[in-house]
Every structure is written in C-alpha cells, then in structure tokens.
A and B are shown apart, each in its own frame.
Chain A
Amino acid sequence: MSIMKMSDIQKSFGSNHVLKGISFSVDKGEVVSIIGPSGSGKSTLLRCATFLETIDSGIISYDDKDVTKNVNGKCVYAKNLNDFRHIFGLVFQNFNLFPHYSVLKNMMDAPVSIMKRDKREVREECMMLLEKMGLADKADAYPCELSGGQQQRVSIVRALAMNPEILFFDEPTSALDPELTGEVLKVIKQLAKEKMTMVIVTHEMAFARAVSDKVIFMSGGVIVEQGAPEEVFGNTRSERMKQFLQNYNRD
C-alpha cells in the first residue's frame, strides 16, 4: 500500500518551471532517496509534498486519499489539510527548532496542545524517544545549548513525537560539518532498520546507496532515473546521471 503518491506534479515560480510532471509513490516501510544536482527541484518537491508550497497541477495523495483534485483545470486543495499533516513529518536542513522551548517542550507541545493528547502519556513517549537517541540528559536543555548534530537529532525526534506514518528529510546533514553528519546519518539508518517510511533528499551518495530501497535521480525538474540503488548506481543508464556521479566522485 502506498502511503504517499504524487502524480504529474507541476510547479512554477513565475517563469521558472521547477517541477515538470513528477510522479512517484512511497510504500509503507520504504526508504526513498532523492538525489540530483542543485536546482533540480528536489527540495521543492519535498516542500510540495509537505504543503509548504502549493502545486500548480497534479495529484498528491496520502493513504489513498487525495489532497488535491483537478477542478476545471485548476488544482484545488482539500479543506482538512491538517488531517493530512498528521500523516507526515518533516526534518529541515537547518533544524528550525523553537529556540524558546526546551528540547522536551519542542517535542511535546504539538502533540499536547495541537493534537490534545494526554500530557503524561506524551511525556513518557518523548522521554523514551530521547533515551533511544541518547539525548535523555538534554531533555531540559535549550536548542542553543546543543551542537548542530544534537539539534538535528532533536528535530528528528520532534517529528517522530507526532507518530507520523512517513518522515521527510530535506538535506538533513547539509548544515552540519562532516564530523557531525555521521551521528545524524546513524539515526536515520536506525530508523530505516525499524522500517520507518522515509523520503530523504540528500547529497550523501554513499549513504543514499546504503540506506535506500529506492533511489530517485532528478535533474531539471524531471525524474531522470529511479530504481533500486544497485541498479541506479551500479548500472546507470542516463548520460545526465553518469555525468553527475562523475562530478561527484571527482570531489
């Protein structure tokens, strides 16, 4: 069963046509990596999937329910967008933790005050998550007191605290120095092992190859290649991706 599905997504910013008919779906328990050169539309795709940008046309659906529909050639969004928002979580490149909230409050506030869940139950769950991430001693710390890697791990557990069915990552390690990148990638690998459904936009090729069930290579607003990592990396068909990987390996 696909948790998320996008078909023929079109998106322009003014005259800049960023997404030119993107279609793909994510099954339960699947880890999908999206790779590609800068400006290929990877992040925009993720932002469309999480409703931070509105699409011009196409269909987005979660759990086989359509979020958008085509009415007389116009793309119309469903009214109950917040019901869909509870299905996914998003981890940002630059964390976007709430600086005035402690780590625990960052995690607990949305489940408690937005979803009206029982405070004690949420606290227990959050503490367990922090424990698992080795961040239990940071529960009362403020984001400014944490390293970049710790902040990103907190932002991952903040998203997990909402019990999402699918988790999106928008270049989760791009704002981190190489030393801190490892600890974040380790967390994502752990989640993959636990069969968390994830879509990861990343520049970490080795990581994408190791962790993904499916790799999508985007360039110029279209999906150029997609498939199992061995296939896409080991038996690259398109010239564009060969060139991309060559440039990448040269660094």
Chain B
Amino acid sequence: MTLMTMALKMASGLEKTCAIFFLTLLFALPLGMVVALMRGSKYKVISGAASFIISVLRGTPLMLQLIAVTYGPYYLFGISVSRNKLIPVVVAFSINYAAYFAEIYRSGIESMPVGQYEAAQVLGYSRVQTFFKIIFPQVIRRILPSMTNEIVTLVKDTSMAFTVSYQEMFTIGKQIANSETSFIPFVVAGVFYYVFNAAVSFIMRRVEKAMSYYKI
C-alpha cells in the first residue's frame, strides 16, 4: 500500500474524528457550566454530588469511561451494544470533558471580584441577569487560555475511540499498521493531529484577540 492510499483511507475516518470533536464540544461546554453551577450551589447535597461526579470523571481514565459507557449497558442490563458507536463515544467524551470544563468555569467564576456582583446588585440586576450579562462574559475572557489547552487535548483524545473500535481516523490507521506491518500510518496520524491542532490554536488565538478589547 502506498503512502497516498494509506493517507486517503485514514482521511476517510477524519469525518468521524471531527464528529467526536465537535459533538463533544457541543454537549460538554454547556454541560460543564451546569456542573460548575451545581458545584457552587449553596445546597450541600447538590455541590457534594457535583464534586463527587467531577472527582470520579477526572480520577479514572477516559479509556475506562469509554469502555464502561459502550459495553456497560450490555453487561449490566443485557442491552445489545449499539451498532452506531458514535452515541456511546460522544456520551463518554461529553461527560468526561464536562468535568474538566466545569473546573475551568469554576476557577473563572471564583476569580471574579465580588465588586462586580455588588455593582450589578445595586443597579437592580437580578441574579440571573448579573450572571449572564456581567459575570459570564468576563469569565469566558478569563478562562480562554485554559479552554484552548483543554480543546487541544480533546483533539488528541479522540484517538481513544479506537478502544471501542469506532472507525475514526486513528482506529483505521491502527488497523492498516497491523495489516501492513508498517509504522507509516502512525506518522500520518501524527501529521493529521498536528494540523488539526494548528487550526484549533489559530482559531482560539483569533477569538482571544477578538475578546481582548478590554483589560480585566
């Protein structure tokens, strides 16, 4: 197999790699905020539950979580493993990344000076209005660099989907490497991830720049 055919075959899995990436962001970004707000709740039961969930998701390997979400339903309830593995893969990635995003959001929310809340309160903003109009936009600005970090990691982590044989780019590459006893597919995979992340970094830099019209 020539380098070109290998690369083309692997590129056919890129669509699925992108699906994991974008769907995970789509679900994990808002879910992380929900978990962060739960964690900051004044009710001990809610904040306790949230911090327990976060500690489990951050304290166990993503690979294990992928396997648990994909095959767990079969072993626990006898439900057959769905043919479309995209669903369990995205579920596992989303809850895992939500836990990490939650901690980033929390650090951002906690770094907000109390004066911002007080100024808003005196001007008559409700709690919800204060959060969405005053706090949240500034939190985003503050956490962007750590978000970029996490998103770059997500690009690379999509390769973990090979553990449940989801046919994304890396899984295909690994199969070719095995059948052809070649190291080339791994090099190709490395290049793909590198280019993907270069694009991610470029976009995030643009976003950061667009938001830096004010100093905090």
Interface residues on A, range: 20 to 34
Known: A50-B122, A144-B215. A100 touches B115 (CB 8 A): no
Query: Could you say which of B121, B122, B124 has the most chain A C-beta atoms within 10 Å of its C-beta?
Result: B122
Known: A98-B116, A100-B141, A144-B215. A89 touches B122 (CB 8 A): yes
The answer to whether B115 and A94 have CB atoms under 8 Å apart is yes
Known: A92-B118, A100-B141. A114 touches B124 (CB 8 A): yes
Interface residues on B, range: 20 to 34
Q: How many Å from the CB of B130 to the closest CB on chain A? A: 10
The answer to whether A98 and B119 have CB atoms under 8 Å apart is yes
Chain A residues 71 to 123 lying within 8 A of chain B, measured CB to CB, are 82, 85-86, 88-90, 92, 94, 96-100, 109-110, 113-115
Chain B residues 93 to 143 lying within 8 A of chain A, measured CB to CB, are 113, 115-116, 118-126, 129, 133-134, 137-138, 141
The answer to whether B122 and A100 have CB atoms under 8 Å apart is no
| 4 smallest beta-carbon distances between A and B, as pairs | A144-B215, A96-B119, A96-B115, A110-B123
From A96, A109, A158, B116 is in contact (CB under 8 Å) with A96
Tell me whether B75 is interfacial, beta carbon within 8 Å: no
Known: A98-B134, A142-B213. A82 touches B124 (CB 8 A): yes
- Which chain B positions have C-beta within 8 A of A114? 123-125, 129
From B118, B119, B138, A100 is in contact (CB under 8 Å) with B138
Chain B residues 193 to 216 lying within 8 A of chain A, measured CB to CB, are 213-216
Please give the residue numbers on chain B whose beta carbons come within 8 Å of chain A beta carbons, in ascending order. 113, 115-116, 118-126, 129, 133-134, 137-138, 141, 213-216
The answer to whether B124 and A115 have CB atoms under 8 Å apart is yes
- Which chain B positions have C-beta within 8 A of A58? none
Chain B residue with Cβ nearest A109: B133
Scoring A residues 24 to 59 as 1 if CB is less than 8 Å from chain B, else 0, what string do you get? 000000000000000000000000001110000000
Q: How many Å from the CB of A88 to the closest CB on chain B? A: 8
From B113, B124, B141, A85 is in contact (CB under 8 Å) with B124
Q: How many Å from the CB of A12 to the closest CB on chain B? A: 20
Q: How many Å from the CB of B77 to the closest CB on chain A? A: 48
The answer to whether B123 and A162 have CB atoms under 8 Å apart is yes
CA distance A189 to B129 in the complex (A): 34
- Which chain A positions have C-beta within 8 A of B213? 142
Given contacts A85-B122, A100-B141, 19 further A-B contacts (CB under 8 A): A51-B121, A52-B121, A82-B124, A90-B122, A92-B118, A94-B115, A96-B119, A98-B116, A98-B120, A99-B138, A99-B215, A100-B137, A100-B138, A110-B125, A113-B129, A114-B124, A114-B129, A143-B214, A162-B124
Known: A92-B118, A96-B115, A100-B138. A110 touches B124 (CB 8 A): yes
Query: Could you say which of A114, A142, A162 has the most chain B C-beta atoms within 10 Å of its C-beta?
Result: A114
Query: Could you say which of B115, B137, B214 has the most chain A C-beta atoms within 10 Å of its C-beta?
Result: B214
